[in-house]
Structure 1
Amino acid sequence: MTYSEQLLDAIQGHRFSESRALLKQALENDDPEILASLAENLTDLGFTDLAKEVYRSLIADFPNEDLFKVYLAEILLNDGAEDDGLTLLYNVPADSDAYLESLLVQADYYQSEGLIETARAKMEQARQLAPDEDAITFGLAELDYMSDLNDQALTLYQDLRQRQTMFGEVNLNQRVFQTLAKLGRYEEAAAFINDHKEDLLDIDAKYQAGVIMEEAGQFDKAISFLDDVIKQSPDYVNAYTFLAKAYQEEDNPEEALFAAQTGLGYNELDEELYLIGAKAAAKLGKAEDAEDLLQRGLEVNPDNSSLRLLLSDLYLAQGRAEDSLALFTALADSDLEPQAHWNMARSYQEMEKYDQALQEYLLAYQSLQTSPAFLRGMISFAQESAQGDLDRQLLEKYLKLVPDDQEMQDLYEQLRN
């Protein structure tokens, strides 16, 4: 048994006190090929300090064998000795057999440091040297994907897919449809998913497929994928928001409400689930559930205007004008959007405080004057508060937008006469 083998046996047997003596014997007595294998095994086992000594010994004995320098540099970079590691890599000449390996190690290092453009440049150099090497094609595709160079990444992923569906642990089919989605080509991504459903075994792939199907408007298929995700992992919190939205788009408020309430059980900070759930509850006539969801959502984020407006609408539908108004009175004027002014106007109108209502209608008017619903509401207010001139002006504007509304046309004729 060689000293290198004895050293590895000692490490695997947790006899670490013997390691230094055995390493010394191995360096003095074992053949270079055995030492090279020893250094690789030591690196794999995490004993990089010992591996560095072996590589340094080999480099001293074989100064022209650049591959040992590359392996040592990789360990130094991982150990935080960047200057020493990069010096070794940059000293590997372009005509060396190890130059390609040097470029790949440099690319990995620069990627880990977030220097994606530099990493990509190194990978491009490597690809020019070995254009048929799939590992290099994949590495370049990943860098392009990270850099949002999605057209380039897609071409590379599609090339790889002609020979394999997996690269290491990465599902290339998943990368293809994700890249199509990043390009905004949702219909193509959905079609690709439909053709490769059997390859989507990973839970993250199913989740991404569900999201893309939703973006493509294929809500039934989105529901199918997202249901699978939740069955496989009930605490996959992000799936609930998209599932609830898909049910909402399918006009299935019962399931939308159930998905929202279940999702909130895992993540009570998801403001979108409060909104979707409240809309579904209101549609089902479950006003108490809707109010509860909206109030809880506003406790999570008091500045969520969508939740506030929906709660105001709910209060107004129930004749609770004062409760509706109270949602806005503590806000600064700069924080009130046009819809908020409209809801405040409706609240004052119901309370027969017409001067305040008129002020709020006018504040909303500039932004909402092209909304037929708003104009109808303001016409109703003008009639109720006996403001005939305002009534006629609003009717003229409304009928330009909705000329076929016979009821409003008749009212306009009455006012003219």
Structure 2
Amino acid sequence: MERLKQAVSLIESGNFEKGLEELKEVRKEADHEGLYDLSNIYYSLGLIEDSRDVVEELLIHYPKEGELLVQAAECYVDLEQEQDAIAALNKIDANDAAYPPALLLLADLYQTEGLEEVAEQKLLEAKRISPDEPIIDFGLGEFYLTQGHHLKAVPYYESVLGTKGELANENIELRLAEALSGSGQFEEALTFYEKGLENGREINALFGYGFTALQISEYRKAINAFNELKDLDPQYSTLYPYLARAYEEEGATTEAIQTLVQGIKVDEFNEELYLQASRLSYKTHDNKSGEQYLRELLAINPTHIEAAKTLATFLRTEERYEDIIDLLNNIEEGDQSDPYLDWSAATAYAQMEEYKDAIKRYENAYTYFKNDPIFLEEYGLFLIEEGRREEAVEAFKLALKLDPTLVHLEEEILRFGEETFNEE
């Protein structure tokens, strides 16, 4: 034991090579207790293979010793020998004091392999054996949180609040805040975020705090949190659309747009940033910028239907019908279409007197918009131009039924209905 201490002193004083040589000599003459200590020292130095070799040597003499099997499993995990780790842990007897820690390690391993149900069973078994063990409650909270089962995680985190010992360095308040927020308990979550952030500023927690504040209209708190996060890590691109939304809700539209511009510089492929920037530009009557953001988005993702629909709608208001057709030709593939785009295309083709294409698009759109009085009126007027007056009258009647304020259609129904009758 004295020689082991000397070897450790050599390593701690910087004489690493000589210390390691001394450890090799210790291994040759150490008893079993000394080998156990040596294994721990190797592990603490990051010499995992040496630690594993010593533990395996001890397991020859004590093949059922739970503590050794757990130590071996930890080495196997670090060496990415997961199956060996599972095999070692499964050898531990249920009555062994090391069995609950083994179950926790098994749960981690099974979860890593995607066997979530097995992992949960191991954790719950550990809970049954040691119902008052904080590390097990913490493990269950962590498991459910990572699985997205936020509500299940809450009571386990609550039970270990204020726990010292093994959990002294864990920020339980922030874990609980995330679980509460994820389960929709935003008011309570905000309180624990504030407590947890007093203990330490974590960038993911700042994002969670800002997001949670946003859900309950605490816009100023959200803005402060997201701006602090931005100062700490400007590359945290997820924050920008939420910060912009908080600014918008506060009525600070200029700051919202500036935030989105900053976000696009950080992440030029974040489609949500372009959509928001376009919407706010149109909102402030900066139509040129609104169109530009949509076109930039469509350059990144030509099949982005939402961007295409928004741009097509704007182009309709501008009566830029050729631009609508150019837009749709660039984004539509094969027989795929969208009813809103069909309507825009139908309007454009009709205005350009390309009636064959127009009727096809109107018929496609009709299936979706047959209960939309505005569409029905436009469709009816087009049908009249095509000489399909009877169908037009039916479209007008349905539009009037859906929206009785369209009283001008009564005259159209009477006029074209009468003309159809006279022709017959």
Report the TM-score range of the alignment, normalised by the length of the smaller protein. Answer: 0.7 to 0.9
Are the structure 2 counterparts of residues 276 and 29 from structure 1 closer, same or farther at C-alpha, using a change threshold of 3 Å?
A: closer
For 1:292 and 1:352, locate their aligned partners in 2 and report how far apart those are by CA, in whole Å.
28
Residue 235 (structure 2) aligns with? 235
Q: Report what 2:410 is aligned to.
A: 412
CA distance in 1, matches of 2:7, 2:179: 48
SS for the counterpart of 2:89 is: helix
State the 1:127 CA deviation: 1.7
Measured at CA, do residues 53 and 192 of structure 1 come closer, stay the same or move farther in structure 2, by a change above 3 Å? closer
Distance in 2, matches of 1:26 and 1:359, equals: 86
Paired residues of 1:3 and 1:23 also in contact (CA < 8 A) = no
Q: Equivalences for 1:321-360 in 2 at 5 Å?
A: 321-329=321-329, 331-332=332-333, 334-354=335-355, 356-360=357-361
- Structure-2 change in CA distance of 1:372 and 1:228 (3 Å): farther
Distance 1:326 1:195, change over 3 A: same
Deviates more, 1:387-396 or 1:262-271: 387-396
Residue 197 (str. 1) matches residue 198 (str. 2): no
Contact 2:142/2:153, CA 8 A, preserved across alignment: yes
Instruction: Provide the rounded CA distance (Å) in 2 between the counterparts of 1:257 and 1:248.
Output: 9
In 1: Cα distance, 2:258 partner to 2:401 partner: 43
Moved more, 360-369 or 140-149: 140-149
Unaligned runs of 5+ in 2: 416-424
For residues 189 and 395 of structure 2, the distance between their equivalents in structure 1, rounded to whole angstroms, comes to 51
1:315 and 1:169 mapped to 2: Cα distance?
A: 58
The alpha-carbon distance between structure 1 residues 26 and 352, as it changes in their structure 2 partners (threshold 3 A), is: closer
Q: What is residue 124 of structure 1 aligned with on the other side?
A: 124
Are positions 1:296 and 2:296 aligned together?
yes
- Letter paired with 1:337: D
Q: For residue 376 of structure 1, report the CA deviation from its aligned partner.
A: 4.7
Aligned partner of 2:196: which letter? D
Tell me the matched-pair count: 409
Aligned position for 2:307: 307
**Residue identity matched to 2:161:** R
Are the counterparts in 2 of residues 321 and 347 from structure 1 also a CA contact under 8 Å? Answer: yes
Structure 2 residue aligned with 1:114: 114
Question: TM-score, length-normalised on structure 2?
Answer: 0.83
Alignment deviations for residues 75-125 of structure 1 (CA, whole Å, 9 cap, x no partner): 134324455544443333222233233333333333333333222222222
User: Which residue of structure 1 aligns with residue 145 of structure 2?
Assistant: 145
Residue 118 to residue 128, structure 1, CA distance change in 2 (3 Å): same
Q: Structure 2: how far apart are the matches of 1:226 and 1:104?
A: 36
Q: CA deviation at 1:269?
A: 0.6
CA contact (8 A) 1:382 1:388 kept: yes
Shift of 1:3: 1.3
Write the distance in 2 (CA, Å) between the matches of 1:245 and 1:379. Answer: 40
Most deviating of 343-352 and 299-308:
343-352
Deviation at 1:278, TM superposition (A): 1.2
Find the aligned partners of 2:325 and 2:249 in 1 and give their Cα distance.
31
- What is the SS of the residue equivalent to 1:237? coil
* Number of the residue aligned with 2:50: 50
- The Cα shift of 1:387 comes to 6.8
1:90 corresponds to which residue?
90
Does the residue aligned with 2:407 lie in a helix, a strand or coil? Answer: helix
Contact 2:346/2:359 (<8 A) preserved: yes
Return the TM-score normalized by structure 1.
0.84
Output the amino acid matched with 1:361. Answer: Y
- C-alpha displacement of 1:167: 4.4
AA in 2 matched with 1:193 = L
Change (3 A) 1:384 1:169: farther
Residues 48/191 of structure 1: CA separation in 2 closer, same or farther (3 Å cut): closer
Q: Which residue of 2 aligns with 1:25?
A: 26
Instruction: Render the CA deviation track for 1:289-338: whole Å, top value 9, x for unaligned.
Output: 12221221111111111112222223333332111111113534522111
Measured against aligned partners, the alpha-carbon deviations of 1:351-398 in whole angstroms (never above 9, x if no partner) come to 344554344223211101223443354456567888765554333222
245-254 or 146-155, larger mean C-alpha shift: 245-254
Q: 2:398: which partner in 1?
A: 397
Q: Distance in 2 between matches of 1:380 and 1:218?
A: 49
| Rounded Cα–Cα distance in structure 1 between residues aligned with 2:260 and 2:239 | 10
Which position in structure 1 is the counterpart of 2:418? none
The alpha-carbon deviation at position 133 of structure 1 amounts to 1.0
Deviations along 1:49-88, whole A, 9 cap, x unmatched?
A: 3323443555566677542332123213432445554444
Change (3 A) 1:306 1:160: same
Change (3 A) 1:24 1:335: same
Rounded Cα–Cα distance in structure 2 between residues aligned with 1:18 and 1:288: 71
- Point out the more displaced range, 9-18 or 71-80: 9-18
CA–CA distance in structure 2, aligned partners of residues 96 and 195 of structure 1: 38
**1:62/1:361 CA distance change after superposition, 3 Å:** closer
Whether the 8 Å contact between 2:219 and 2:247 is mirrored in structure 1 is: yes
Q: 1:299 to 1:10 in 2, by over 3 A?
A: same
Aligned amino acid, residue 293 of structure 2: L
Judge conservation of contact 1:348–1:357 (CA < 8 Å) in 2: yes
> For residues 367 and 113 of structure 1, what CA distance do their matches in structure 2 show?
45
Please give the alpha-carbon distance, in whole angstroms, between the structure 2 residues aligned to 1:272 and 1:307: 10
Structure 1 72/373 Cα, relative in aligned 2: closer, same or farther at 3 Å?
A: same
In 2, distance between residues paired with 1:241 and 1:384?
46
Q: Does 2:362 match 1:361?
A: yes
Aligned 8 A contact 2:374 2:399 in 1: no
Distance 2:213 2:380 in 1: 43
Residue in 1 that maps onto 2:258: 258
Alpha-carbon contact 1:244-1:273 (below 8 Å) kept? no
Distance 1:152 1:414, change over 3 A: closer
